[in-house]
Structure 1
Amino acid sequence: MKRLSRTILYIVAFVLFFYANNNLLVTTEYTIESSKLPESFDGFRIVQVSDLHDAAFGDGQQRLVEKVKAADPDVVFLTGDLIDSRRYDLQNSLDAVKQFVKLADVYYVLGNHEVAVNQTDEIYMALENLGVHILPNQSLEIEHSGKRLAIIGIEDPLMGKEVQEMLEEAMAGIDEQTYKILLSHRPEKFETYVENKLDLVFTGHAHGGQIRLPFIGGLIAPGQGWLPTYTSGMYEADNTKMLVSRGLGNSLVPQRLFNLPELIVVELRSM
């Protein structure tokens, strides 16, 4: 009887462990300082939501929305793969987005899964109808007290253009001294972002490496293969900082290990 009870406890513990790895939302916070950032943007708060892949976090995405709300964002960045090409359910993701737009201005770039389902027009239209700012190789400047910063977005390379080409198109007309934030799905293009002197880059796509190993990091990531370089956290080179979100959902591999679903929260500081 004791052996049976112990076995049941082990089974319950394993089930809870695997459930938590896919469903326990965590928030990772960063403070980004820059002398290029206007003083009027000091304290500006950003929440990044990436790689939802049609996952559900509570009824009507309520757990996810409450996490975003608690971060008190000035803007929300959606960095691709809102949907999953294997179980396309746009409305499930829109349930979250329609609540995000009530909290802050929302900006969006697509990921490879939106391209894969061949529904980019439908997705763009649905998001625009909710009031989301779409950035298909475009930029917008936002202003506080007469000072500006640029939010730049590029599409996924599966749309048929090279990253450099898309960046040149999106950055046309932006003054070199303007603080530049890029939304891009793909972290493996970090060197290109550095070459283009972007100040801060938000990416996803790597799913944290899916399985994270102690002292090693992520195990595998699309576009990078085994033991990938860019899976989670902040990477710096020259004056460019890139944040890689571990994302929220899963795709081909249905289970995360030691890799909890993540929201990134950034507070900007002027030096």
Structure 2
Amino acid sequence: MLPITKRKKRLICAGAAAAALLGLAAGLDSRLTVPHYQIESEKLSGAVRVALITDLHCCDYGQGQRDLLDAVAAENPDLVLLGGDIVDDDPSLPVENAYTVVKALAEQYPTYYVTGNHEFWSGQVEEIKENMTACGAAVLAGAWEDVTINGQNLRICGVDDPAVGTLEWKTQLTRVGEAADGSRFTILVTHRPERVEEYIQYNFDLTVAGHAHGGQWRLPGLINGLLAPNQGLFPKYAGGLYDLNGQTMVVSRGLARESTRIPRFFNRPELVVLELGPEAGV
């Protein structure tokens, strides 16, 4: 075997360094991505497109929040679900970023909002709810609304974040759970994905959540998430679509960027699009 010359060693080292830098750049890519999930149900005879937005945390998406709003417009959803932590508790983050998004969306689409833990941690959750209502969003806190879209009858249920208090949260979940009576396709909007054992006690066709931030660090194909609040290391429900014994849950990896102390890694912020429709062959 021929000895490796100093020049070759330098080239190998330079190549390895370049590959590492490219990998780091790819891992730290924080551009918005838009995953789509197909969800079929015998309760549906036509298509409904839903945009799911979670964990904005007042983050910046361009002048007038156009990067995010234009991405939503490009998907042309029939309704929008806001799964909590749209507002952050850090006063250094401009709250206008959150309300600009909500107001613009509510002017265009039926928009439904539930709280996350950071809205409660702000100490201003009631004011935030009032502002969401003023922006045009329906605030769901142990409540539901029936809506007919494209001839499809939907029931949109929502609960506050558990930071509201254990007893009140369970009361809210019971109330909306009893409304999931099988008469129409029913969606639960909640912030916390880790409470699946309580959600599946009821007949929700679809549960949507956020909170986990995609586990913050990912290795696609190997690790779906490293660490998530209230789930710890290697969270089971970091992001994606989950089959819960016949029910479906979709967890958004959220939109938080500059609000997090640790940067996202191979975990781009996302606007989730849910394609609801009839079962194949129907």
Look up the SS of the partner of 1:202 in the other structure.
strand
* Paired position in structure 1 for 2:278: 270
* Greater C-alpha radius of gyration: 2
CA displacement 1:172-195 (0-9 Å, x = unmatched): 455333221010000001121111
* Paired position in structure 2 for 1:220: 227
The letter of the residue matching 1:247 is G
Runs of 5+ consecutive residues of structure 2 not aligned to the other structure? 1-9
8 Å CA contact retained: 2:36, 2:272: yes
Number of equivalenced pairs: 261
8 Å CA contact retained: 2:27, 2:266: no
In structure 1, C-alpha distance between the alignment counterparts of 2:117 and 2:273, rounded to whole Å: 23
Report percent identity of matched pairs: 37
* Paired position in structure 1 for 2:118: 113
Flag the 1:88–1:122 CA change in 2: closer, same or farther, 3 A: farther
Whichever structure has more strand as a proportion of its residues is 1
* Paired position in structure 2 for 1:208: 214
8 Å CA contact retained: 1:83, 1:89: no
Look up the SS of the partner of 2:65 in the other structure.
helix
In structure 1, C-alpha distance between the alignment counterparts of 2:122 and 2:55, rounded to whole Å: 15
The letter of the residue matching 1:43 is A
Look up the SS of the partner of 2:160 in the other structure.
coil
Q: Which moved more, 1:218-227 or 1:164-173?
A: 164-173
- Give TM-score, length-normalised by structure 1: 0.88
* Equivalent residues in 2 for 1:61-210, closer than 5 Å: 61-86=65-90, 87-144=92-149, 148-162=153-167, 163-173=169-179, 175-210=181-216
In structure 1, C-alpha distance between the alignment counterparts of 2:177 and 2:201, rounded to whole Å: 13
**Cα deviation, residue 143, structure 1:** 2.2
RMSD: 2.4
Look up the SS of the partner of 1:213 in the other structure.
coil
In structure 2, C-alpha distance between the alignment counterparts of 1:216 and 1:146, rounded to whole Å: 40
8 Å CA contact retained: 1:208, 1:247: yes
Look up the SS of the partner of 2:214 in the other structure.
helix
8 Å CA contact retained: 2:69, 2:101: yes
In structure 2, C-alpha distance between the alignment counterparts of 1:226 and 1:149, rounded to whole Å: 36
Q: Which moved more, 1:211-220 or 1:139-148?
A: 139-148
* Equivalent residues in 2 for 1:240-255, closer than 5 Å: 240-250=247-257, 251-255=259-263
* Match status 1:60 vs 2:60: no
- Give TM-score, length-normalised by structure 2: 0.85
In structure 2, C-alpha distance between the alignment counterparts of 1:176 and 1:123, rounded to whole Å: 32
Look up the SS of the partner of 2:35 in the other structure.
strand
